[in-house]
Copies of this chain bind each other. A is one copy, B any other.
Amino acid sequence: MNPNRIAPRSGVAFRLEEGEILTVVDPQGGQVSDLLAFNANDVREVISNGRTFDYEETISLGQGNRLWSNRSKPMLEIVEDTVGRHDFLLTPCSEATFRHFYADKPVHRGCFGNLAEALAPYGVEADMIPTAFNLFMNVPVDGATGRLAVEPPVSKPGDHISMRALSPLIIGLTACSAYDSCGGTFKPIDYAIDRPTAGVT
């Protein structure tokens, strides 16, 4: 694997072809990466936490789970996951969340602004950005009260998650910009795209 690096507090977008495997690595540990997926042929079809919760019957997603679209199609399958703790409840950090949660700190456009800029060339408008699948983000939920908390990720250096594209996709991916999500510091995220050899699955 010859990974690409996403600088701290930035984001990228790229095309992922059907069958390709996207591996996202937390190189230093304790960092979050927000992931979005759109149908490459029609970006009105987009990853949906609700449809994923419907069909996977859990809010805790890991190896073997699939990520579904708003049109009830599976978009990505998690084929390897060394962490097992990700979040699909919360939205990308944004100027508004910085003002709300970090009133004493400089406002940053956050993962939301980074995703909006990176995805704009693909025809994705800011309002079309849904709740992201937040890799390595640690959001425990109290089953009795429903209360949630944002804790530091449990990912260690080199931990990763690999997902296979089940159709042609546009992916948005960030190195998260929020203090609480990342344990108070900002670190890079690495990713690689692998195409399995024909005939080998």
Contact = CB atoms under 8 A, between A and B. Distances in A.
Contact of A141 (B45, B55, B59, B70): B59
Given A72-B96, A141-B143, A90 B58 contact: no
B127 A130 contact: no
Contacts of A138: none
A103 interface: no
Given A141-B141, A143-B142, A144-B143, A45 B127 contact: yes
Nearest to A55: B100
Given A58-B147, A141-B143, 7 more contacts: A50-B89, A59-B89, A59-B141, A70-B91, A70-B127, A71-B127, A143-B143
A112 to B, nearest CB: 9
A60 interface: yes
A82 interface: no
Contacts of A167: none
B100 A148 contact: no
A69 to B, nearest CB: 10
Quick one: which of A60, A91, A130 has the most chain B CB within 10 A?
A91
Nearest to A144: B143
A149 B143 CA distance: 12
A184 B10 CA distance: 48
A174 interface: no
Contacts of A71: 96, 127
Contacts of A132: 50
Interface in A109-129: 125, 127, 129
Nearest to A85: B146
Contacts of A125: 44
A82 B17 CA distance: 49
